[in-house]
């Protein structure tokens, strides 16, 4: 609590992200209508008392679909980043700890993945797996795995050469104990910051894939899919596309702001400049 009082921007970022997560989790209870419920008579209507954010081309309530779209997009991105952290973090830690041939082979493999543009690699993976929310999550996880591997390997190399790790080896501590008790806790701040920042970009990637028809498939609500469907009716009723775009903006901005403020708070070099 003291840290939050000293850093009001961090408190705002946490509250902003927590609010959006709450909206995503509680979409079933907060949304005034079902995400697939149609009112044909009220198609392409603007904001009103009955439909606060208007309706889309099929008469579905835009607010309800955005709330459920929050859940779809956020769930896919959280799963994707968690998988990337698990795979990339494991590779990075083992590369720093084991060194030798494992480090050379694993890091060259990560370099190969780095060579591909993010969207091109994601589209290639989805071409193999087929368009689906799960496929989009797997594609994002593969794309972000080398980022976590490279990011954690650097500081892990320094920690593995530190005196307390050398002392732990000298007293006979197992490799698992050293990694989980001495190395990983010292990487917690790096992991926390990078996870927040990658969640921000993962939301944009997932929305882009859904916009292209490669992610979440209709009729399941997704922010990127809503933006894609609404672009065909911009002159008649832009509300669906506009509000879906703002939802993507707010969701990405929240995690990006959280990552930036966490970095400023946890980095001792930045704290010393305050």
Mean pLDDT on 53-71 = 92
C-alpha span between 9 and 254 (Å, rounded): 11
Q: What is the DSSP letter of 60?
A: B
Mean pLDDT on 151-159 = 87
Of 7-16, 150-159, 240-249, which one has max mean pLDDT? Answer: 240-249
- On the question of pLDDT at 172 being above 80, the answer is no
C-alpha span between 51 and 216 (Å, rounded): 24
Please, are residues 224 and 207 in contact by the beta-carbon 8 Å criterion? yes
What SS3 state is found at 13? helix
- On the question of pLDDT at 3 being above 70, the answer is no
Mean pLDDT on 35-62 = 89
Predicted pLDDT at 274: 45
Which alpha helices (H) appear in 130-267, and where do they start and end?
A: 133-160, 163-170, 175-178, 188-211, 223-230, 239-266
Domain boundaries along the sequence of the chain: 2-39+54-271
Apex 95 CA angle, 89 and 98, nearest 5: 130
- On the question of pLDDT at 269 being above 60, the answer is no
Predicted pLDDT at 267: 65
Q: Class of the 2-39+54-271 domain?
A: mainly alpha
Predicted pLDDT at 141: 95
Confidence of residue 254 (pLDDT cuts 50, 70, 90): very high
Predicted pLDDT at 268: 53
Q: Residue 141: which of 216, 224, 202 has the closest Cα?
A: 202
Residues 6+ apart with CB under 8 A from 187: 152, 155, 156, 159
- On the question of pLDDT at 165 being above 80, the answer is no
Virtual CA dihedral for 162, 164, 169, 175, nearest 10 degrees?
-80
Tokens, residue 213: 């028809």
C-alpha span between 136 and 77 (Å, rounded): 9
Tokens, residue 238: 């832009």
Residues 199-210: tens digit of each pLDDT: 999 999 999 999
Residues 120-133: tens digit of each pLDDT: 999 999 999 999 99
Please, are residues 241 and 227 in contact by the beta-carbon 8 Å criterion? yes
The residues facing 38 across adjacent strands are: 60
Residues 222-237: tens digit of each pLDDT: 999 999 988 888 888 8
Weakest-pLDDT range from 86-90, 99-103, 110-114: 99-103
Mean pLDDT on 233-260 = 91
- On the question of pLDDT at 272 being above 50, the answer is no
Predicted pLDDT at 4: 62
Residues 174-220: tens digit of each pLDDT: 778 888 887 888 888 889 989 999 999 999 999 999 999 998 888 88
Predicted pLDDT at 115: 87
Predicted pLDDT at 126: 93
Helix axes of 8-25 and 239-266: crossing angle, nearest 10 degrees = 140
Q: How far is CA 2 from CA 5, 7, 10, 19, in A?
A: 5, 9, 12, 21
């Amino acid at each position: 609590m003291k840290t939050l009082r000293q850093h009001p921007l961090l408190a705002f970022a946490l509250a902003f992200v927590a609010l959006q997560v709450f909206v995503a989790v509680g979409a079933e209870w907060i949304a005034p209508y079902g995400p697939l419920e149609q009112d044909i008579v009220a198609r392409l209507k603007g904001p009103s008392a009955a439909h606060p954010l208007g309706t889309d081309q099929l008469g579905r309530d835009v607010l309800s679909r955005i709330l459920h779209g929050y859940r779809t997009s956020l769930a896919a991105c959280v799963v994707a980043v968690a998988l990337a952290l698990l795979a990339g973090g494991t590779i990075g830690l083992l590369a720093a700890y084991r060194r030798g041939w494992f480090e050379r082979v694993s890091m060259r493999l990560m370099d190969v993945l780095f060579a591909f543009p993010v969207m091109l690699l994601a589209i290639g993976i989805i071409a193999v797996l087929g368009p689906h929310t799960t496929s989009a999550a797997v594609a994002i996880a593969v794309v972000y795995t080398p980022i976590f591997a490279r990011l954690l390997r650097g500081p892990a190399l320094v920690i593995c050469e530190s005196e307390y790790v050398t002392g732990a080896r000298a007293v006979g501590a197992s490799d698992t104990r050293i990694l989980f008790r001495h190395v990983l806790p010292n990487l917690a701040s790096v992991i926390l910051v990078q996870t927040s920042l990658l969640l921000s970009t993962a939301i944009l990637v997932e929305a882009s894939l859904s916009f292209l028809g490669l992610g979440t498939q209709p009729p399941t609500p997704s922010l990127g899919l809503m933006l894609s469907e609404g672009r065909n009716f911009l002159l008649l009723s832009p509300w669906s596309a506009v509000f879906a775009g703002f939802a993507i903006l707010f969701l990405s901005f929240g995690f990006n702001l959280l990552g930036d403020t966490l970095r400023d708070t946890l980095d001792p070099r930045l704290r010393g400049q305050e």
